[in-house]
Amino acid sequence: MSGVDLEPLVVLTGAGISAESGIPTFRGDGGIWEQYRATDLATPASFKRDPDLVWRFYNWRREMVFNCNPNQAHKTLATIENQLSNFMLITQNIDGLHQAAGSRHVLELHGSIWRLRCSACNERWEDRRVPIPEGIPLCSACGSMGRPDVVWFGEALETNVLQSAYQAAAQAKLMLVIGTSAVVHPAAELPLVARSAGARLVEFNVEDTPLTPFVDAVLQGPATQQLEQWWERVRPPA
């Protein structure tokens, strides 16, 4: 694939890129939703019904992420960003591992597990404590319950983040789609937006997804290996 137009390069990542860091994906064998029901935990209704349960789930996930490190796929993306001038990374992940690996231009579509927001007012704050000592953290502005600043099912994505993501997708010459089942909207639309605007799509996954029939190339296998090998093949000479 050498000689390919690389820029603007836009990358869309999902839970699969963090799987090799030890963070379980959502769907499929061993996925989080096999053990827990998404509708019991990742919806605004579940937080209203049982905030303690939802916080127990997120504290468990915060602890897990805290104990994990970026893997070679995260690191390769940071390397790629350093070597290109027109690069954007759009992630559905909330784990912060891209930033930990050194990526700078990151759009977090589904928020961050390391940020909280008030369930009543607009207050947002960073909280990296593991564990959070006081049970349910409270908003310092109004005293209401804090919640993870992540996007649950049925909730709108942050408008400016989503707009930036659509804009980046529409300008891409090449989009890499890494480790996502491509079933959750609106994230799943971004590769199609890029494709309609003329971008080439390359999918990195261990299995086929609903996007596979629409991509120009599939690199099947663990993202850590496939991505590094792909970059070795296509990267511009130093």
Residues 122-141 that bind ligand BJW (CB under 6 A): none
- 179, interface contact from Zn ion, ligand BJW, none, CB < 5-8 Å by kind: ligand BJW
15 is a site residue for ligand BJW (CB under 6 A): yes
With a CB cutoff of 8 Å and minimum separation 6, the contacts of 201 are: 174, 175, 177, 191, 194, 195, 211, 214, 215, 216, 217
For the stretch 151-160, what's the b/e string if a residue is b when 16 or more beta carbons lie within 10 angstroms of its beta carbon? bbeeeebbee
Among the listed ranges 13-21, 106-114, 122-130, 163-171, the one in contact with Zn ion (CB under 5 A) is: 122-130
Helices (H), 20-106: 32-35, 38-41, 44-49, 51-66, 72-83, 97-101
7 is a site residue for Zn ion (CB under 5 A): no
20 is a site residue for Zn ion (CB under 5 A): no
158 is a site residue for ligand BJW (CB under 6 A): no
**Is 143 or 221 the residue whose CB approaches ligand BJW more closely?**
221
Among the listed ranges 122-130, 131-139, 169-177, 184-192, the one in contact with ligand BJW (CB under 6 A) is: 184-192
- 121, interface contact from ligand BJW, Zn ion, none, CB < 5-8 Å by kind: Zn ion
Q: Is 112 helix (H, G, I), strand (E, B) or coil?
A: strand
Q: In this chain, which of 82, 141, 153, 167 binds ligand BJW, going by CB under 6 A? A: 153
What is d(CA 30, CA 48) in angstroms, rounded to the nearest whole number?
Answer: 28
209 is a site residue for ligand BJW (CB under 6 A): yes
Residues 83-122 that bind ligand BJW (CB under 6 A): 92, 94, 110
Q: In this chain, which of 180, 202, 215, 219 binds ligand BJW, going by CB under 6 A? A: 180
**Is 95 or 149 the residue whose CB approaches Zn ion more closely?**
149
For residues 179 and 205, the answer to whether their CB atoms sit within 8 Å is yes
Long-range contacts of residues 26-29, Cβ cutoff 8 Å, at least 24 apart: 26/181, 27/181, 27/183, 28/181, 28/207
20 is a site residue for ligand BJW (CB under 6 A): yes
Place of tokens 């349960």: 53
- Name the pairing type of β-strands 146-150 and 111-118: antiparallel
Provide the CB-side half-sphere exposure for 29 (13 A, CA): 2
191 is a site residue for ligand BJW (CB under 6 A): no
Residues that bind ligand BJW (CB under 6 A): 14-16, 19-20, 25-28, 31, 42, 92, 94, 110, 150-156, 179-181, 183-186, 204-207, 209, 222-223
State the catalytic residues.
Answer: 110
Residues that bind Zn ion (CB under 5 A): 118, 120-121, 123, 139, 141-142, 144
